[in-house]
Every structure is written in C-alpha cells, then in structure tokens.
Structure 1
Amino acid sequence: MIYVEPSTLNILMAFLTAFTIAFLAVPPVIRVSSIRRIFDEPDERKQHKNSIPSLGGVAMFAAIFFSIIFWAQDINFEQLRWMILPLFIIFMQGLKDDIVAIHAVKKLIGQLIATAIMVFWGGLYIDDLQGILGIGPIPAYVSIPFTLFTVAVIINSFNLIDGVDGLAGTIGVVTTVTFGTLFFLGQHYSLALISFTITGALLGFLWYNFSPAKIFMGDGGSLVIGMVLGILCIRFLDAEIRLEDGGPALPTPPIALAILIVPLTDTLRVFMIRMSQGKSPFSPDRNHLHHVLLRLGFNHRQVALTLGGINLAFIMLALLLRNVDITVATLVIIGTSVTACVVLQRLSSRKKLDVPAPAMPKPVNVEQTA
C-alpha cells in the first residue's frame, strides 16, 4: 500500500477539486453569458472575429474559492481572511468591468485598495531585496509603497497578456506549477496547495479557452489570477527553499522574476512604447508580444505554446544561475529578456518589409480600346 502524506493528499485533492469545478462550471457560464448577451465583442484591435462569452472568471473564482476553503486545513482563518477578501474585491471589480467597462484609473484604485488590505491587515509585504545591487532589508516607508507598486504591476501584466486564445491560461499554468513545485520542495505546503489550486482551475478553464476559444476568462479571471500571483510572489521572496537537504537556499528574487518574465516584460515593453509615443500607458494598441508573434505568422495556439515555452526556458535559466551572484543573475535574466524582445521586433519588422506590395493595375491603352 502506498502511503501519501496528508499535506500531499490535500494538495492533490485541491488541484482535482479546482479542475473539476472549473471544468463543470464553464458550460453553464457560457449559456448564461449567451442568454444575457455578455460578450467580448470583436473590434479592429482584438484578434477574435465573433462575439465570445467573457465570464470565464466566474467559474475560475468559484473553483479557487471552494477548493481553498475545503482543503487548506493548514491555513488558519486569520490568514485566509486577508487573502480571500482582497481576491473577492478584485473579482467583483473585474466582473463589473466584464459587464460594464470601467476606466483604467478606477480599476487601478480598486487594485491598490485590495492590495493595501493585504499589506496592512495581512502583513504581506516585501521587506528584503536579499542583496540585489547591495540592498538588503528595506524600511517600512519604502517597503509598503514598493509592495503596492509590485502587486499592481503583476496584476495588470497578467491582465494585459490575455490577448489571444489560451495565452493567459498557459502562462498561468507555467507560473503556478513552478511556484507550487518550489513551495512543495521547501515544505511550504499551504502555499503549494494555493499554487496547484490555481493550476487546476486554469486547466479546467483552458479546455474551453484554447483556440478556437468558446469563452474568455475576462477581467474577472485575469485580475484574480494576477492578484494570486502577486501574493505567491511576495511569499516566495520571503521563503527559504532548498533543492536538497543541507544545500544553499535558492536566491528567490531572480527566480521570481524569471517565473513572471513574460507578462512583466510584455507590460513594461508596451508601456514604454506608448509613453514614447506620447500616449497613456493604458491606451490599447497592437504592440504586445502576442501581436508580434501573430505578425510573424503564428496562430493562436502556437503563440500560447511559444510564449509558455519561453517562460519555462527563463525559469530553467534562473535555476541554472542559482549559485551565481544574485545581482549578476538578475541582470542576466533582464538582459536576456531585452535581447529576446529586440530579436522578435527585428524579425517582425523584416516580415513587414518582405510582404510584397499589391500589384498596380496595368495602364489602359486608350488608342487600343477606341
């Protein structure tokens, strides 16, 4: 008979419960969205051509909420309250935006309020950079605004990456599986359970979201996943994780950066492009990484799998650099990311130049037609 540790069994059951709830809940959500005509409508900026239900976040939030409540027995009520309350605020804000559009500034204010609850009442904040650029512990007056900024960036980066079928879900699976595995190896079982719960909910949803998508996660899904990733990232930065007993602790900042590298790079890149053009960083455009790959001839499924694979490659790079100086490792990851963006942009620009111009009509000889 195989013996399974209770913590391991709880993690497995939380994953399966989240997957099952999401998988079974999506079809009814699609029907309700269709009846109520709550769609993500196509326009010149979006990639889809048909009206697609956009309430996938409802199924995902239900899967996450009930799985964590039922299986997270090692998390006390006080800890759970200051995680669930911000998630509920973010979910309701995202759900409202899926039904009636909310201005970007109002969404940002809601995100900061939810994060502030987590920081001030939940005690969740970044207070140590572990030697990056020689910076160690940081005081509260720096730590608190830095945490608010970091979580807001993570939330919005995951929201903005949700641009083609299956992409946000694929990136979400890569990030949560990585966080979950590392938390498990570090014996942080409650955090591993939360991570794999998100993985289960995403996989149940992805069944219906891979190209051609039958439903989108909407802001009600992407903002919630972004918030959870922000929570996991901060907990990861504070965790002591060793790959083997007696071995050195992992340098968590560069690894956390690598885990979130695709959404973070994409967001910072498009924000810089927009501001360089004198536009608001929140103004929509077609400059995201998935747009670049689409211009290179990739289809939606290929875009999702390619960016997911790139994200995984950066995680492997960070783990290979675990014994390198923490500042050097961080700079290598950032430099590699910038280089990859430049290469993709050059390839995209060359692709545009290679497109033949439309043939001009032949001039008509008036004398011959007379």
Structure 2
Amino acid sequence: MNIWMVLIAATALSSVLCNVLIPMAWRTALVDHPCERKQHGVPVPLVGGLAVYGTMMIMMVAILPLEVNIRLFLVASSFMVLIGALDDRYDIDAGVRFIAQLLAAAVVVFGADVQITHIGDLFGTGVIELGPLSMPFTLLCIVAAMNAYNMIDGIDGLLGAMAMVAFAGISLLALMHNQYLPLVVATILFGAMIPYLVRNLGFKLRPVRKIFMGDSGSMLVGFTVVWLLVMLTHPESVLESWFDSRPDLSSVRPVAVLWLIAVPLMDMFAILSRRVMKGQSPFKPDREHLHHIFMRAGFSARQALTIISIIAVAKLGLGLTLEWFAVPEPIVLSIFVAIFVLYLLMLKNIWKIVSWVRQHRDVETHN
C-alpha cells in the first residue's frame, strides 16, 4: 500500500473516530475536569488516545500480516489503553498503573522476545552487549517512555507535537534503512495524531470540539515509540521473516534513536532528579516542567509549544544528520550528553534566565 495513502487513510479514520467518541465520552463521564493545576475552565473529553488507538488497531489489522510479534503488540497496547482509560475515568493509584505498565511491557518483551540486546559501540571499544540485562533493560525503557510522554502532556498540543516528531523521525530512519514495517506503523500513528492535534489546539478552521489525549493516549505513544525503536535497532531479532525477505534492510544505531525522544526524555530525567533531591516523591505532580518554565518567563502556552517544538525538531534534525553521515557513536553520544548537561545547567540557573527574559521584554515593551 502506498505510504501516502496510509497517511491519508489514517488521518481520515482518526477524524471519524474523534467524532464518534466525543459523545460517548460525555455519556460515560470520560472527561477531564478543571482543577487548580489545570488551565482549562470547562470539562474536556479524554478521547484523543482512544481515537489514535482505534486508528492504529484497525489499520494494522487491515494492511499488515498479523505475525506473532504484531499480535502480541496489539494485545499489550490494548491492555495499556484500557488501563489508561480507567485511570482517566477513576484516577487509579500510581502503583497500580506502574504494575500495569510492567505487565504490558512484559507481553512484548517475554512473549514476543522483543528486547534490546546491545546498545552499540558507545565508547569506541566495541559493541556493548547487555546479555542477561537485555530483558530488564527493555522493560525499563518501555516504562520510562510511557511515563516520559505522560509527564510532558501539560499544555495543549505538546504531547501531540512530541509524538509527531518521534513518529516522523522513526519514518525517516526506517526509509534510510529500508525497514518497511516501522515505516508503515509510524505513518499510521503520525496520521492519527493530526485530527487530535487540530482539536486539541482548537484551530478555528471550522468549529471543533476540544479533546485531550488522556493517559490512555500518552502511555500508548510511549509504548509504541519504544516498540518501534527496538524494531529499528534490532530488526534481525524482532522481525525475522521481514529481515529474511529484505536483504537490503539494515539496522539503526541505538545512539541515533535518542534524538527522536530527546525532549521528553531530558524533561523527565531532569524533573525526577529535582524531585528526589528535594526529598519529594518522583511521581508527585508539580509545575516544574519545561513548558511551565517558559510560561513563567512570560511566554504564552502557544508560544511555549512553538519554542519546544522547534527545539525537538532541531534535535531530531541533528540526530538524523549524524546518522546519515555515520558519525562515530562515541561522538554522537558526547554531543547528546553535552546538550543534556547544558539543559540541566539552564534549569539550575532558570530564575536568572527568567529574570533576564522578563527585563528584556519589559524594555522592549516600554520602547
């Protein structure tokens, strides 16, 4: 099936599902109510994730051969979406949600043998094999990604934008390495995100009813992203039949995929480290995320979204360029770590930066 047709079909189907699910959300009370930590003033349906999931499920079943790996992924993602929807509706305990995330990850890790067996030649001393740590490391990566995307869902459009950056990056890497399956799945998810993003941002092209992604959507995004990234970096073990039938297929270097999820990943680790250093629970909600910082500096939510999206696209472009030119992995890792350290230093001095930005904006206003 032509990849552009896949994109168009996914976008159209997701739009239809959004229209169908919004009335159902009101009937089942699957809505997000305003509170002191939230910016919206009226209840908003939490069906974005369900529309994306429905689109993914229908299209994957319709156009892909349902091998064991794909079937188990669909089962695990269905379970994760169910738990997320229950969390959206009943606000389940964080511990229960964490156990559910581990169970969903275990389905693909142990059931389908989807695992990260090596992390590449990061230090110039040869490929680092994980051995017996492969399965627990893969579980950790899946759960971390689900929570990273869940945590970054703080302002309108941000989760959708970060997801689309990741899926666009996966599609481009898949094209570079002749991997058809991740290309198709990432294209489906990219297309499914478009109607959600239009409704979430409330574009006035035509009257739209606002929706949120919900935990079901944010966890689905994180889960799918890691599944696709493992597929890109370990195609010979994850997709044996596809690998055998495509002799031109090659694997992506593990260090390259960090750039696809750089913003959610860096934001999550920075937030968790700050909470632990303050003696707080790492799962305690707060207003210290990157988008909150931009807004305290005087930027609007839409401006913060634009700036963070540009940063994410720039990091993606840098990562793809480094992969295209096959820059040695130790150098790629060093660049990534340097950017992360710069990010942490910025956060450490954030109030000085915020004060400077406010003064600069005040001067421009008065002039």
TM-score, normalised by the number of residues in structure 2:
0.86
Q: CA RMSD in A?
A: 2.3
Aligned partners of 2:159 and 2:218 also within 8 Å? yes
Please report how far the alpha carbon of residue 137 of structure 1 lies from its aligned counterpart in structure 2 after TM superposition: 4.7
Greater CA deviation, 42-51 or 118-127? 42-51
Shift of 1:280: 1.0
Q: What's the counterpart of residue 144 of structure 2? A: 153
Moved more, 197-206 or 17-26: 17-26
2:326 is aligned with 1:330:
no
> Is 2:211 aligned against 1:215?
yes
- What's 2:221 paired with? 225
* One of 12, 15, 18 as aligned partner of 1:23: 15
In structure 2, the partner of 1:288 is 289
Gaps of 5+ in 2: 204-208, 237-247, 360-367
Distance 1:345 1:15 in 2: 42
Whether 2:39 is the aligned partner of 1:47: answer yes
Which residue matches 1:243? none
For 2:60, the aligned partner's letter is I
Query: Which residue, 115, 119, 122 being the options, matches 1:129?
Result: 119
Q: Deviations over 1:326-364 (max 9, x none)?
A: 1221121121133134336635544358879xxxxxxxx
Counterpart position of 1:310: 311
> What CA distance in whole angstroms lies between the structure 1 residues aligned with 2:48 and 2:305?
18
Alignment partner of 1:131: what SS? coil
- Which of 180, 186, 190 lines up with 1:189 in the alignment? 180
Specify which of 73, 87, 95 is matched with residue 85 of structure 2: 95
Task: Verify: 1:238 aligned to 2:241, yes or no.
Answer: no
Q: Which amino acid is the alignment partner of residue 92 of structure 1?
A: L
Larger of the two Rg values belongs to structure: 1
Match for residue 259 of structure 2? 258
State whether residues 132 and 327 of structure 1, in contact with CA within 8 Å, keep that contact through their aligned partners in structure 2: yes
1:355/1:183 CA distance change after superposition, 3 Å: closer
Deviations 1:53-79 (A, max 9, x none): 11221111111110111122xx34322
- Give, in angstroms, the shift of residue 138 of structure 1: 2.4
AA at the equivalent of 1:209: N
Residue number among 145, 165, 181 corresponding to 1:174 in the alignment: 165
Equivalent in 46, 49, 69 of residue 61 of structure 2:
69
Number of the residue aligned with 1:37: 29
The SS at the match of 2:298 is coil
Q: Structure 1 residues 142, 194: closer, same or farther in 2, change over 3 A?
A: same
Identity %: 27
Distance 2:229 2:345 in 1: 27
How far did 1:30 drift? 2.2
- 2:297 and 2:114 map into 1 onto residues whose CA distance is 42
- Alignment partners' CA distance in 2, 1:71 and 1:96: 29
Matching residue of 2:354: 351
Query: Structure 1's 47 and 342: CA in aligned 2 closer, same or farther, altered over 3 A?
Result: farther
- CA deviations 1:292-337 (Å, max 9, x no partner) are 1111222222222221211111122223334332122112112113
Find the aligned partners of 1:349 and 1:34 in 2 and give their Cα distance.
45
The amino acid of 1:126's aligned partner reads I
Is the 2:173–2:252 contact (alpha carbons within 8 Å) kept by the matching residues of 1? no
1:111 to 89, 101, 105: 101
Measured in 2, the distance between the counterparts of 1:250 and 1:141 equals: 22
Quick check: 134-143 or 12-21, which moved more?
134-143
- CA 352–41 in structure 1, closer or farther in 2 if over 3 Å, else same: farther
Give the structure 1 partner of residue 242 of structure 2.
Answer: none
1:59 to 51, 66, 89: 51
Task: Determine the C-alpha separation between the residues in 1 that align with 2:347 and 2:281.
Answer: 24
Using the size of structure 1 for normalisation, the TM-score is 0.85
Q: 1:355/1:182 Cα in 2 relative to 1: closer, same or farther (>3 Å)?
A: closer
Q: Contact (CA 8 Å) 1:161, 1:168: kept in 2 or not? A: yes
| Cα deviation digits, residues 19-69 of structure 1 (max 9, x gap) | 111112213322222343332122222232322111221111111110111
CA shift in 2, pair 1:292/1:123, >3 Å: same
Asked if the contact 2:157/2:197 (under 8 Å) is kept, the reply is yes
Q: Distance in 1 between matches of 2:258 and 2:357?
A: 35
Query: Residue 78 in 1 paired to residue 32 in 2?
Result: no
Mean CA deviation greater in 130-139 or 144-153: 130-139
